[in-house]
Amino acid sequence: MNVTPLDESVTLERTIEGGTEKQRESVSSIIEKVRENGDKGLIELTEIFDRVTLDELFVQQEEIDEAYNQVNDKELEAIRKAIENIRDFHQRQLRQSWMVTKEDGTMLGQRIIPFDRVGIYVPGGKAAYPSTIMMDAIPAIAAGVKSITMCSPPGEDQRLHPMVLVTASELGIKNIVKIGGAQAVAALAYGTESIQKVDKIVGPGNIYVALAKREVFGQVAIDSIAGPSEIVVLADETARADYIAADMLSQAEHDELASAVLVTTSEGLGKKVAEELERQLEDLPRKKIAEESLDKHGAIYLTETMAEAVEAVNRLAPEHLEIMTAQPDNLLGSIRHAGAVFLGPYSAEAVGDYFAGPNHVLPTSGTARFSSPLGVDDFVKRSSVISYSKEALEENGEYISAIARIEGLEAHARAVDIRKGEK
Amino acid sequence: MNVTPLDESVTLERTIEGGTEKQRESVSSIIEKVRENGDKGLIELTEIFDRVTLDELFVQQEEIDEAYNQVNDKELEAIRKAIENIRDFHQRQLRQSWMVTKEDGTMLGQRIIPFDRVGIYVPGGKAAYPSTIMMDAIPAIAAGVKSITMCSPPGEDQRLHPMVLVTASELGIKNIVKIGGAQAVAALAYGTESIQKVDKIVGPGNIYVALAKREVFGQVAIDSIAGPSEIVVLADETARADYIAADMLSQAEHDELASAVLVTTSEGLGKKVAEELERQLEDLPRKKIAEESLDKHGAIYLTETMAEAVEAVNRLAPEHLEIMTAQPDNLLGSIRHAGAVFLGPYSAEAVGDYFAGPNHVLPTSGTARFSSPLGVDDFVKRSSVISYSKEALEENGEYISAIARIEGLEAHARAVDIRKGEK
C-alpha cells in the first residue's frame, strides 16, 4: 500500500445494495406466504431455504441445556463479562420521564416508554455471532422492553449454534424461533399463530433479510441497514505501526468491501504501517478477504498538519475512529463526526467490538454525520403530556387563538374560546 | 354521527401516499436539474413552478423590516410567548455528554453532538404557518445546531408571508431562501453555490416535497413523512360534550383525511357530542372539509368499561389523545402509545398545537407505538468513546480474543494479542 497525499474528494459513502428485481420479488412473495399461511408457511419456507423440516418452531429448554455442555468455561466467562460491561454501559443511557409544573396550574411532561415487543434477527451459518445478540438485545432489555423474540436460521440438525443459544439464555431471552431469512422478518412484522408481531426489528442479515426489513418498514420500525464496516486511524509519529496495522486488518478481514484507512501526519509511520500490513497479512486465516479489502478500499493518507487530518476525519465521518497520537484526549473535542472513538494505543477496535460496553452497531457510510450507535434510545419513545388549568387557559387563550387565526384555522381558535365561555 | 360499539379491528393506520409515476419522475428531474445547474437551476425552476423571477435567492434585511410593519402587536406578542414556552420545553430535552471511569484506567463515554447544519422547509400559499417554523426550528436551535437554512416558496411579489419572516427573525434564523418544492429539498440536500448542503431536512410539504425528501434520504437525514392528523378523545360521563366536539372539529378542519374519534363509556355523552358536532359545524369557515373528515374518518365508539377504552387507545396509538374523565391523571400510567396526551377539560389540542411548549410534530398513523414527537433528539447524535489502559487490556484481553475466535475473526484476536506482546 502506498502513502499518498490526502485527496479531499475521498469519501466513505457507499451505495447500499438494493438487490436485484428477482430478489425483491422473491422477498415479496415470501412475506405474502407468511402473512397468508402463518406457522405452516414458515415451516414450508424453512424446508425450501434451509433444507430442514422443523419439529418445533421454538427452541426448547432441553436444547439450551445441551448447548451449555458444548461451551467451554473460558468462553462462558468471556460472554458473561462482556454482558456485564455492555449492560452497565447501556443502563446509563436510560432517561427518566420528567415533568414541569407552573404556578398557574400548568403541567408539562415528557414520558419515556419502552416498546412493547422487539424482534432480533441473528444470522446463521457456520460461525456464531454472540456479539450480535449482545449488542442488539442488551439495549432493548435496558430500555425495559418486556417481550423480545429472537429469530435465527437452523442448521441441518434443526439446531442453532450452541454459542447463540447460550448467549441468548444468559440474556434471559425466552422466545427463540428457528426461522431465518425474509420469512423470519415477515413473521416478526406481521405475527403468526405462535409468534407475536413486534414493534421493531433489529439485527444484521443477508440481502434477503435486508430487503425484507425494508419492505416491512412502516408496519414496524427497523434499525438502519448497515453498509460495509470502516475504520479510520488518526495517528502521528508517536504511534506504533504494528498496532495500527493489526487494527486495520481486523477491519479488513470482515469482508472485501470493508474499508481501513490511516490518516497520518508522519510519512515515516505511513510507510511502516504499509510494511506491517504486508507482514501481518502473511499468516492471517482470512488473508484473501483482508487483502482484497485493503487493495480496493484501504488507504494511507498523509496530511501536512494535524488540523488538516482532523478535518479529513470529520469529512469522512467514520464508523470507527482510532486516535493514536501523543495526546489523543486533546483531539477528542475536535471530532464532530464518528460513530465510536477509540483513544490511545490500547483501545483496539476489537475492545469495543466485543467487550468494553458501548454498542458495536454503528453508523456506516459517512452517516455518523447524523446517526448514532444503536442504544436504549432505539427501543423507547417519548410521549408528551400537557395539562392546562382553567386559569392557564384563561390567561393564555387569547394568544393561542391569535396564532390559530393567523393560520386560518378557526375551529382551533373556537376550541379555546368555548372554554373561556366565548362561544 | 352514530354512537357505535367499539370494533376491535379499527385502526388509524394509513397508507402513506407514494405519488404517481409521473410525479416521481418529475421530482427526480427537478433534483437532477438542481444538482447540475445549482442556483441558476433554482431560479429557472421557480420561474416554472412559482411563476416568479427572483432577483435574490435569499431574503434581505429590508424585507424582514417591512414584514414587522405588517404584523400587529397582539400577533407578535403571541408568537413571542409561544417561542418562549416552546424553547423552555425543548431546552429541557437536552442531554449531557457523560463519562465513566474505572480503577483499571478504563474510560467510557457518550458524547452528545449537534448536527452541523439543518434545513427547514416551510410551505407557502395564502395562509402562513408560524407554528411550523417554531416547532421545526426550536428543537434544532435548542440542540445547538449552528447553521439553519429555511426554504419557503415565494409569492408573486417575490416575497414570503410577513408572519413567516417575522417568526423566523424572532428565532434568529438568518438564512432564508425563497425557494419551494422539490427544488428546495434538492438544494438543501446537495448544496448549490450559495446554499450549503445540510445534514437533515425537516418540515411538511406537498406531495412533491414529500417525494423529494424520500429521494434524498440517505444523502441527508429527514424527518418522518407524516400521514393525516388524528385525535382520539377518551371520555367518561363527566366530560363536556361541547368541548369534545370543538376539539374534534379542530382536528377535522385540517383536511378531509384527518381523523377525529371519541371513545367513551357513556352512551349519553356520545349522543350529546354527536349533536354538538352538528351544531358547531354549522358556521365553521372550513365546514365542508370538517364535514367530509367526520363522515369518512370520524367515529364515536362506546365501550363497556374504561379498561376496554384504554386498551382501544393503546391499540390505536393516536397522534393526539385527550383524556376527559373525572380523574384523567389516574389513567395516564395506563397509556402506553400516544404522541401527546392532553389531560383534563382545559387542555384543548390547540393549546399544544401552538403554545404550551411540547412539539406539535407527532407520530401519525399508529406509529406512536414506536415513534416520538420531534425533539432535540432529532438534531443531535450520540458518539461513543472508549479509552483502555494497558492494565485494562492486559486484564481483559483474553476474554476479548476468546469472543473474537468464537466468531472466527482471528485478526480481531491478534489485534489484542499484539498489544499483550503475544504476537
SS3 labels along chain B: CCEEECCCCCCCCCCCCCCCHHHHHHHHHHHHHHHHHHHHHHHHHHHHHHCCCCCCCECCHHHHHHHHHCCCHHHHHHHHHHHHHHHHHHHCCCCCCEEEECCCCCEEEEEEEECCEEEEECCCCCCCCHHHHHHHHHHHHHHCCCEEEEECCCCCCCCCCHHHHHHHHHCCCCEEECCCHHHHHHHHHHCCCCCCCCCEEECCCCHHHHHHHHHHECCEEECCCCCCCEEEEEECCCCCHHHHHHHHHHHHCCCCCCEEEEEECCHHHHHHHHHHHHHHHCCCCCHHHHHHHHHHHCEEEECCCHHHHHHHHHHHCCCEEEEECCCHHHHHCCCCCCCEEEECCCCCHHHHHHCCCCCCCCCCCCHHHCCCCCCHHHHEEEEEEEECCHHHHHHHHHHHHHHHHHCCCHHHHHHHHHHHCCC
Does residue B116 contact residue B143 with C-beta atoms inside 8 Å? no
Binary contact (A386, B352; C-beta < 8 A): yes
Contacts of A92 in chain B (CB under 8 A): 98, 100, 110
User: How far apart, in whole angstroms, are the C-alpha atoms of residue A3 and residue A269?
Assistant: 9
Does residue A72 contact residue B403 with C-beta atoms inside 8 Å? no
Question: Which pLDDT score is estimated for A16?
Answer: 64
Residue B171 has pLDDT above 70, yes or no: yes
Q: Binding residue per annotation — B337? A: no
Nearest neighbour of B388 by CB, restricted to A93, A252, A347: A347
Binary contact (B107, A252; C-beta < 8 A): no
First to last CA, chain B: 78
Q: Which CATH superfamily is A3-13+228-356 part of?
A: Nitrogenase molybdenum iron protein domain (3.40.50.1980)
- Distance from the Cα of A201 to chain B's closest Cα (Å) equals 11
Contacts of A399 in chain B (CB under 8 A): 77-78, 81-82, 355
Test the B interface: residue of A14, A365, A400 with most B CBs within 10 Å: A400
Q: CA torsion angle for A163, A168, A169, A170 (degrees, to 10)?
A: 90
Does residue A175 contact residue A92 with C-beta atoms inside 8 Å? no
Question: Which pLDDT score is estimated for B17?
Answer: 66
User: How far apart, in whole angstroms, are the C-alpha atoms of residue B319 and residue B308?
Assistant: 19
Contacts of A385 in chain B (CB under 8 A): 332, 340-341, 343, 358
Q: CA torsion angle for B265, B267, B269, B270 (degrees, to 10)?
A: 100
Binary contact (B387, A418; C-beta < 8 A): no
User: How far apart, in whole angstroms, are the C-alpha atoms of residue A404 and residue B251?
Assistant: 12
User: How far apart, in whole angstroms, are the C-alpha atoms of residue A356 and residue A333?
Assistant: 21
User: How far apart, in whole angstroms, are the C-alpha atoms of residue A220 and residue B244?
Assistant: 31
Nearest neighbour of A370 by CB, restricted to B381, B401, B418: B381
Q: How many residues does chain B have?
A: 423
Binary contact (B130, A416; C-beta < 8 A): no
Cα within 13 Å of Cα(A390), Cβ side: 3
Question: Which pLDDT score is estimated for A289?
Answer: 96
Q: Binding residue per annotation — A398? A: no
Model confidence at B423, pLDDT cuts 50, 70, 90, reads low
β B107-114/A175-177 pair status: unpaired
Does residue B340 contact residue B364 with C-beta atoms inside 8 Å? no
Same fold, B3-15+227-356 and B21-222: yes
Domain boundaries, chain A: 3-13+228-356, 21-222, 388-420
Contacts of A218 in chain B (CB under 8 A): 16, 367
Question: Which pLDDT score is estimated for A423?
Answer: 58
Active site residue B161: no
Does residue B230 contact residue B320 with C-beta atoms inside 8 Å? yes
Q: Could you say which of B90, B161, B297, B320 is catalytic?
A: B320
Taking CA atoms, A27 is separated from A44, A47, A212, B18, B67, in Å, by 15, 16, 6, 20, 55
Active site residue B319: yes
Task: Enumerate residues 6+ apart whose C-beta is below 8 A from B209.
Answer: B121, B123, B180, B181, B182, B184, B185
Taking CA atoms, A377 is separated from A133, A319, B291, in Å, by 18, 18, 40
ipTM: 0.95
Contacts of A403 in chain B (CB under 8 A): 75, 78-79, 82, 130-131, 354-355
Q: CA nearest B49: which of B161, B205, B176?
A: B205
Question: Which pLDDT score is estimated for A9?
Answer: 80
Question: Which pLDDT score is estimated for A112?
Answer: 98
Does residue B323 contact residue B353 with C-beta atoms inside 8 Å? no
Name B101's bridge partners.
Answer: B107
Question: Which pLDDT score is estimated for A1?
Answer: 86
Q: Binding residue per annotation — A275? A: no
Residue B203 has pLDDT above 70, yes or no: yes
Test the B interface: residue of A147, A198, A403 with most B CBs within 10 Å: A403
In the DSSP assignment, the letter for residue A319 is S
Contacts of B399 in chain A (CB under 8 A): 77-78, 81-82, 355
Q: Determine the topology of domain B3-15+227-356 in CATH.
A: Rossmann fold (3.40.50)
Test the B interface: residue of A370, A405, A420 with most B CBs within 10 Å: A370
Question: Which pLDDT score is estimated for B379?
Answer: 98
Q: Could you say which of A63, A230, A319, A349 is catalytic?
A: A319
Q: Determine the topology of domain A21-222 in CATH.
A: Rossmann fold (3.40.50)
Q: CA torsion angle for B180, B182, B184, B188 (degrees, to 10)?
A: 160
Does residue A119 contact residue A125 with C-beta atoms inside 8 Å? no
Binary contact (A384, B335; C-beta < 8 A): no
pLDDT (average), residues B213-227: 86
Binary contact (B353, A115; C-beta < 8 A): no
Nearest neighbour of A98 by CB, restricted to B92, B128, B408: B92
User: How far apart, in whole angstroms, are the C-alpha atoms of residue A264 and residue A245?
Assistant: 13
Binary contact (B386, A199; C-beta < 8 A): no
Under DSSP, is residue A271 helix (H, G, I), strand (E, B) or coil?
helix
Residue of B nearest to A412 (CA): B250
Under DSSP, is residue A410 helix (H, G, I), strand (E, B) or coil?
helix
Residue of B nearest to A277 (CA): B411
User: How far apart, in whole angstroms, are the C-alpha atoms of residue A361 and residue A380?
Assistant: 17
How many other CB atoms sit within 10 Å of the CB of residue A103?
8
Test the B interface: residue of A199, A343, A351, A380 with most B CBs within 10 Å: A351
- CA-based diameter of chain B, in Å? 84
User: How far apart, in whole angstroms, are the C-alpha atoms of residue B187 and residue B46?
Assistant: 12
Q: Binding residue per annotation — A23? A: no
If you average pLDDT over every residue of chain A, what do you get? 95
pLDDT (average), residues B44-56: 94
User: How far apart, in whole angstroms, are the C-alpha atoms of residue B292 and residue B300?
Assistant: 15
Question: Which pLDDT score is estimated for B321?
Answer: 98
Residue of A nearest to B384 (CA): A340
User: How far apart, in whole angstroms, are the C-alpha atoms of residue B240 and residue B266?
Assistant: 12
Contacts of A311 in chain B (CB under 8 A): none
Count residue pairs from A and B with Cβ separation < 8 A.
368
pLDDT in tens, A12-38: 887 666 788 899 999 999 999 999 999
Question: Which pLDDT score is estimated for B302?
Answer: 96
Q: Binding residue per annotation — A73? A: no
Does residue B339 contact residue A384 with C-beta atoms inside 8 Å? yes
Nearest neighbour of A128 by CB, restricted to B126, B355, B407: B407
Average pLDDT, 10 consecutive residues per value, chain A (423 residues): 85 76 93 96 96 95 96 96 98 97 96 98 88 98 98 94 97 97 97 97 93 89 86 98 98 94 97 97 96 96 96 96 97 97 97 97 94 97 97 96 95 96 72
Binary contact (A381, B387; C-beta < 8 A): no
User: How far apart, in whole angstroms, are the C-alpha atoms of residue A58 and residue A187?
Assistant: 13
pLDDT (average), residues B71-99: 97
